[in-house]
Structures are given as structure tokens and as C-alpha cells.
A and B are shown apart, each in its own frame.
Chain A
Amino acid sequence: MAKRDRDVRMSLQTLKVLEAFLENPADELSGADVLQRCRLASGTLYPILLRLESAGWFVSRWESIDPSSAGRPRRRFYRLTPTGLRRASEVFAGFGRGVLA
């Protein structure tokens, strides 16, 4: 399901998600973190995360905890890849924002 880099749809919601990750590009954020920061609906957020991950802009990994001992399910963390960081910066620079230009 890998998509080409140029196939990512730049909706306003996608830009919000990218902006949340660009605040600290090295940070890993879970879906709940992004929901809280962007004030998006979960029905909007998760397709965007999967879309960006399949396009190679994000990588994701499971939280390294034992769910049985922690008493809760593992969270899934997303992080910008170097490609994603570069492309997202280009997108915002194209809008005249110049976030990480």
C-alpha cells in the first residue's frame, strides 16, 4: 500500500497534523496526542496518519510496555521520517510559512 510521495492529499486537516509534528520533529506522538493538539475528530485523524505513513512521511512503532502489567493497551507512536520532514517543510514553505525552511 505504499504510495508515491506526491500523492499525499494536502487538506487543511493534514496540514494541522503536520504542523503538530513539526513543532518538535524528533518527538513521537500517539493518535491521542495529535487529537489533543489539533482538535480533530478521530474519524479524520486516523485516515490521515495511515495515509502519511503509507506515503513514507511517518513511521510508527508500538509503545514498549507490557500491556498486562501496565493495565492498558500499548499506544502507537508516530514520528516524521527525514523524507516527511523535508516534504512537510517544503509544503509549509510553499504556503509562505517557512516553518523549517
Chain B
Amino acid sequence: MTSERALDWVDGIAHRLIHHAARRAPDSLADRLEEEWLADLASQRGPIQRLRFAFGCCWAINVIAHEHAVAALPVASSPTGQGHFIHHANGSGDSPFFTARTITFVLVAILHAALLYGLATGLGPKFTKIIESPLVPRIRQEFRPEARSRRFQSGTFPAP
């Protein structure tokens, strides 16, 4: 019973996410995308897959809206001034083979790997050398009984 309630709860969140995402789509696509995504959401098995699907739709709408906006922009420097539109060729900043998301993911992964490697090998000892410990150990001189007796006599050292 509890798992059914949890599934309903996840379904509700996924539906709301998709509805919210579709509202952010261009007007000509909003209704179509919402119906299409809700139908495809129903084919997803399990709550995690459904949530993942819904979050993916939220990501997708950013890309779709961006491409739609770019495709609809008139070219200001067009010789005729009308009838020319920018076509979304390779996306802004995308390489021919990888999407911007893939490139970002790879860069973040490389950064993490480099940081971990650096800390595991070279950077760790360097940091311990640079950052000096506030507790500097000092070796005390060897205890000498005659020095102690002199202190007793002069009264600088309290008697036990």
C-alpha cells in the first residue's frame, strides 16, 4: 500500500514536471509535446525511470526552445532585409560530434579526476609542506638534577 502511494506521488511529480516543461515550449509545440511526453511517460517502468524521464523533458525543453528561438531570428544584416532566417546549423558552441551537455560532462569528469589524482599523488605532500602546523614540537633539554636543586634553593621552583 505504501509503495503504491509512493508510486502515485512520483507519478504526480513527473506529470507536473512534464506539464511545467511543456508550458515553456514554443506555443506551436506545447500541446503536442505535453501529450507526447505524457504518453511516453506511461511506458516507463518504475518510479526512478519516470522521474528521470520527466527531468529529461525539462532539459529537452531548454534545447528545443533555444533552437526554436534561434531558427526564428531574422538576420539583421540580410541584404534584402526580409525572407532570410538563421538556420540552426551546428548549435551554438557545439562540436560536430558531441553535444554541449556531453562536452560539459566530460570536462567536469576530467576536472574531478585530475583533482583526485593530484591530491592522491603530488599535491597532498606539497600542501602539508606549505601549510605549517601551528603546533611546532620542541625537544626539551635533558633533565639535570643539579639544575633542579639550584632552583629549589633560589626559590624559583616550588617544592613538592
A residues whose Cβ falls under 8 Å from a Cβ of B: 1, 3-4, 7, 9-13, 30-32, 35-36, 41-47, 50-51, 54, 63, 72-76
Contacts of A74 in B (CB 8 A): 35, 39
| Chain B neighbourhood of A51, CB < 8 A | 67, 88
5 CB-based A-B contacts, threshold 8 Å: A31-B40, A41-B52, A47-B64, A75-B36, A76-B35
Compute the total of residue contacts between A and B using a CB distance below 8 Å. Answer: 97
Contacts of B104 in A (CB 8 A): none
Given the complex, which residues of A lie within 8 Å of B33, measured CB to CB? 46
| Contact in complex: B40, A42 (CB < 8 Å) | yes
Residue among A44, A45, A46, A76 making CB contact with B39, cutoff 8 Å: A76
- In the bound complex, how far is the Cα of B40 from the Cα of A74, in angstroms? 9
- Are A7 and B87 neighbours in the complex by a CB distance under 8 Å? yes
Interface residues in chain B, defined as those with a beta carbon under 8 Å from any beta carbon in chain A: 29, 32-33, 35-40, 42-44, 52-53, 55-60, 63-64, 67-68, 71-72, 87-91, 94, 96-99, 101-102
Q: How far is the CB of A12 from chain B (nearest CB, A)?
A: 6
Q: Which residues of B contact A54 (CB under 8 A)?
A: 71
